Structure 1
Amino acid sequence: MPSVTHEALVELFKNRPTLAAEMLQDALGQPVPAFTEARVESSDMTEVTPSDRRADVIVVLLVGERQRPAMAIVVEVQLGVDPDKAYVWPVYVTQTRARHRCPTRLLVVTIDAGMARWCSRPIDTGHPDWTLKPLVLGPEGVPVVTDAEQAKAAPEAVVLSAMAHGQGEAGEAIGVAFLAAAAGLDEERRAVYGDLVLSSLNAAARRTLEAMMKSGYQFQSEFARSYVAKGRQEGLLEAKAHDVLAFLEARGLEVPTEVRERVLASTDLAELDRWIRRAAVVSDARELLGTTGF
């Protein structure tokens, strides 16, 4: 199931169809044809594969009075390693190219530097001279948006900037730029985007922004409330999982790969607490996953 962070990034590209072209051209230096409209199209790929395949966003750049497709962009948000992508991404590109009869690019978006490196690996399709090289927009490539006028012109870009750079030194300036853009948004986007920006900023930047808003800011949208709550939950799960592994390693026990992966994949706080207690007494790390006792 896609995470809330994943869905937030997808919504940015859906709400601003030109964002994919802007990131390709301005952030990644990829040539984009002149176009008169950018349109989000159906991302359903089920007609060419037996299982359900759906790209995150497909944007088609249109040109001329007849709105002829000049380029299609398949946008994929990737936040975790998924070996299956090496097989489905080429399908997304070729199917989109066939459907819209135009050149097609794959733009992979991630806010993690390690994931950006993983996503950038060329995909050898097995056919001579056909290697797909994903165009990856990672945190280093996302522009740092601190200019108020730029934020007003492209509010989705400043939200993306906050998600990529909000924990750094530019966090406060990004937040202030977003405030300049917020007044021009409709109520729903102002609530969701505001919450996303604030939840992405470092603590000092957030305090400054809250003070500028003249009252204690309350998260206004259910979407963003779940975003923050899930982020806190995931952080706690990760911390406890690493506590389990650290306890075993501190006792000099070898941790097999299958045990490590099972611990890191746990989404149950009670289970992790139980494993922390068991880690203090087991003689073999494999005993950790037993269900008896403790």
Structure 2
Amino acid sequence: MPSQQHEALIELFRHRPALAAELLAGPLGITVPAYQNVRLDSGDLPDLIPTEYRADSVITLTRGDTSVLSVVIEIQLRPDQRKRRSWPVYLSTLHARSHCPAMLLVVCPDERTAGWCATPIDVGHPGWTLVPLVIGPQRIPTVTDPAEAADSPELAVLSALAHGTHPDRDKIFQALLNGLGTMDQHQANLYTDAVLAALPQAARHHLEALMTSATYEYQSDFARRYFYEGKAEGEARALLTVLAARGITVSDADRQRITECTDADQLETWVRRAVTAGSVDDIFA
């Protein structure tokens, strides 16, 4: 089963397919054909034989109605010898399906895996050697400009994941939070969870401290909501659990009032009352 980190990294490309073109043209220095739109395509790449190949994601750049470049996105957290047999199949199948050039872009969270992924794959046919295009931590841009992070929050997420121990990590985290503040709350929460889960403990605590600091220059409504509303959701679940354990009936209207409350302090008060209350009315009194 894919890990949270694997799924979160794929989500960066699903939510912002243009990130693939940005990474190819930026740190990798690949000439990307002129395009007008970017679309997310199916990662299913079936072969003629009864074997199903499925890439993590496929992104296609288009100009008008014409596909000009298709990119296989693979998230690789550790070496896997099977991939060296699958990746050439991905490219040849996608090339035949999309009727345009196809490239393989592999994103790795650590340099050791990135080095393994970048090793050329000799398919056997003369002149056919696949050299994967690999983005490891050293090739991920260091995003410290809040405006740049606002333009591409996903790139800011990659920057924070790769450079959480960088000497400029304050600026990196500030840019990250500024970028996340431009997104809808659900998507921003997803990215924040992924970054906090992947960072080393010291860097994670540092980011959390920045998000909750009253003097933090870039403290945003997002940062406050991330912690405060998260606490409120936990208190609401605790309250409903206590009521269920005590056999107290909760009407649909009361349940809605509890789950929609965003005041963590109020919910905490209701939890304390629920321990001895005889009804929901006693809790709300």
TM-score interval, smaller chain = 0.7 to 0.9
Hey, what does 1:154 align to over in structure 2? Answer: 152
SS at match of 1:102: coil
Structure 1 gap segments, 5+ residues each: 222-294
Contact 2:5-2:194 within 8 A present in 1 as well: no
Hey, what does 1:121 align to over in structure 2? Answer: 119
Hey, what does 1:105 align to over in structure 2? Answer: 103
Residue 183 (structure 1) aligned to one of 171, 181, 184: 181
CA drift at 1:215: 5.9
Contact 1:55-1:75 within 8 A present in 2 as well: yes
**Residues 225-284 of structure 1: CA distance to partner in whole angstroms, max 9, x if unpaired?**
xxxxxxxxxxxxxxxxxxxxxxxxxxxxxxxxxxxxxxxxxxxxxxxxxxxxxxxxxxxx
Hey, what does 2:23 align to over in structure 1? Answer: 23
CA drift at 1:216: 9.8
Measured in 2, the distance between the counterparts of 1:45 and 1:96 equals: 7
Measured in 2, the distance between the counterparts of 1:210 and 1:174 equals: 16
CA drift at 1:187: 1.8
> Residue type of the partner of 1:148?
P
**Residues 80-109 of structure 1: CA distance to partner in whole angstroms, max 9, x if unpaired?**
111011110000000010000001111010
Contact 1:175-1:209 within 8 A present in 2 as well: no
CA drift at 1:127: 0.6
Equivalent residues in 2 for 1:76-87, closer than 5 Å: 76-87=74-85
Measured in 2, the distance between the counterparts of 1:127 and 1:162 equals: 41
CA drift at 1:178: 1.9
Runs of 4+ in 1 over 4 A off after TM superposition: 213-217
SS at match of 1:38: strand
Identity of aligned residues (%): 42
Would you say 1:139 and 2:137 are equivalent positions?
Answer: yes
Hey, what does 2:93 align to over in structure 1? Answer: 95
Contact 1:172-1:206 within 8 A present in 2 as well: no
Contact 1:175-1:198 within 8 A present in 2 as well: no
Hey, what does 2:164 align to over in structure 1? Answer: 166
Contact 1:210-1:216 within 8 A present in 2 as well: no
Measured in 2, the distance between the counterparts of 1:96 and 1:219 equals: 45
Structure 2 gap segments, 5+ residues each: 231-285
CA drift at 1:123: 0.3
> Residue type of the partner of 1:129?
G
From the superposition, tell whether residues 215 and 41 of structure 1 become closer, same or farther in structure 2 (CA, over 3 Å). closer
From the superposition, tell whether residues 206 and 94 of structure 1 become closer, same or farther in structure 2 (CA, over 3 Å). same
CA drift at 1:209: 3.0
CA drift at 1:193: 1.9
> Residue type of the partner of 1:166?
G
Measured in 1, the distance between the counterparts of 2:163 and 2:228 equals: 20
The higher radius of gyration belongs to: 2
**Residues 200-237 of structure 1: CA distance to partner in whole angstroms, max 9, x if unpaired?**
4503343223313486963978xxxxxxxxxxxxxxxx
Contact 2:47-2:93 within 8 A present in 1 as well: no
> Residue type of the partner of 1:9?
L
Aligned length: 219
Hey, what does 2:252 align to over in structure 1? Answer: none
Hey, what does 1:206 align to over in structure 2? Answer: 208
**Residues 161-193 of structure 1: CA distance to partner in whole angstroms, max 9, x if unpaired?**
111111332322111112222232112112112
Measured in 2, the distance between the counterparts of 1:78 and 1:53 equals: 16
Would you say 1:51 and 2:51 are equivalent positions?
Answer: yes
Contact 2:189-2:226 within 8 A present in 1 as well: no
Q: Normalising by structure 1, what TM-score?
A: 0.70
> Residue type of the partner of 2:54?
R
Hey, what does 2:7 align to over in structure 1? Answer: 7
SS at match of 1:93: helix
Hey, what does 1:62 align to over in structure 2? Answer: 62
Contact 1:25-1:31 within 8 A present in 2 as well: yes
Q: Normalising by structure 2, what TM-score?
A: 0.72
